[in-house]
Amino acid sequence: MTRRARLLLPGIPLHLVQRGNNRSVCFADADDCLAYLELLESASHACAVDVHAYVLMTNHVHLLATPRVDPQAISAMMKRIGQSYAQRFNRRYRRTGTLFEGRFRSCLVGEARYLLACHVYIELNPVRAGMVNHPGEYRWSSYAANAQGAPDPLLTPHPVIADLGPSPVARHTAYRELFRHHLASGLVDEIRQVTHSGLVLGTERFQRQAAELLGRRTIRGTPGRKPKPPPDNPI
């Protein structure tokens, strides 16, 4: 069965999740996390991909990233990281076989509200998992850089972050305010479902525009019904 092509657009952020094969551990200690982040930094620069947010969990990775020019750069980046990191991991733990699932899950992210929601969703993962009480307590995420101004050469802030305030201090303060209340359960479910389905996270307007650009469906269809084609002139 032919795999459905990913929904990718240049300059449009992508939320992606890559899990360990059979949900197995892919980050056993701090050295593993440091090695992965170094590889991610190198691969993102080589492939012209801007990374905005990340979290490394025990058996999976979340990233929010934007391909600058070539939409396929995201896949090239993940392939480069996956091969190099898996080889290192297998050597270190004297194992063989696949480390990550064959295909990462992803969705296009449109508009500021959804982009910021993905930031929060990603960096709250350790809190939802019961590993820490506050995202600032977890070392292996982008929270320290995005919310507290800690140096992180891996990250390139999305322009939406610049709109949070006129100065770094103001932006970090506004960013931390996003975490005062957890995301609504409906929005968490939406992010999960859309990412798993490989579709588009955004308003109906953005979904229609993406469908027009890509020439294919960008939202989940209703079982038993043929989805309507996108309009010729999206609003």
Q: What is the pLDDT of residues 38-93, one digit of tens each?
A: 999 999 999 999 999 999 999 999 999 999 999 899 999 999 999 999 999 999 99
Q: How far is CA 130 from CA 90, 127, 135, 146, 197, in A?
A: 28, 5, 11, 21, 26
Q: What is the pLDDT of residue 8?
A: 83
Q: What is the pLDDT of residue 53?
A: 98
Q: Mean pLDDT for the chain? A: 90
AA letter at 100: F
The DSSP annotation for 200-230 comes to: EES-HHHHHHHHHHHTS--SPPPTTSPPPPP
Which one has a higher pLDDT value, 226 or 133? 133
Which one has a higher pLDDT value, 115 or 228? 115
**What band does 210 get if pLDDT is binned at 50, 70 and 90?**
confident
Q: Measuring CA to CA, which residue among 73, 72, 54, 76 is closest to residue 63?
A: 54
Task: Please check whether residue 147 is in contact with residue 179, taking contact to mean a CB–CB distance below 8 angstroms.
Answer: yes
Which of 36-45, 65-74, 196-205, 218-227 shows the lowest mean pLDDT across its residues?
218-227
The DSSP annotation for 89-129 comes to: HHHHHT--S--B-SS-EEEEE-SHHHHHHHHHHHHTHHHHT
Which of 5-14, 69-78, 157-166 shows the lowest mean pLDDT across its residues?
5-14
Order of strands across the sheet with 200-201?
49-56, 60-67, 14-19, 105-109, 200-201
The DSSP annotation for 185-200 comes to: HHHHHHHHHHHHHT-E
The Cα–Cα gap between 42 and 28 comes to 21
pTM of the entire structure? 0.88
The Cα–Cα gap between 41 and 113 comes to 26
User: What count of other Cβ atoms lies within 10 Å of the Cβ of residue 136?
Assistant: 16
* Structure tokens belonging to residue 41: 């930094």
Q: Does the structure show a pLDDT above 70 at 222?
A: no
* Structure tokens belonging to residue 121: 């969703």
Which of 142-151, 184-193, 220-229 shows the lowest mean pLDDT across its residues?
220-229
Which of 106-110, 123-127, 206-210 shows the lowest mean pLDDT across its residues?
206-210
Q: What is the pLDDT of residue 152?
A: 97
Q: What is the pLDDT of residue 182?
A: 83
- The domains located in the chain, with CATH, are 14-206 (3.30.70.1290)
Task: Taking residues 176-187, report their average pLDDT.
Answer: 92
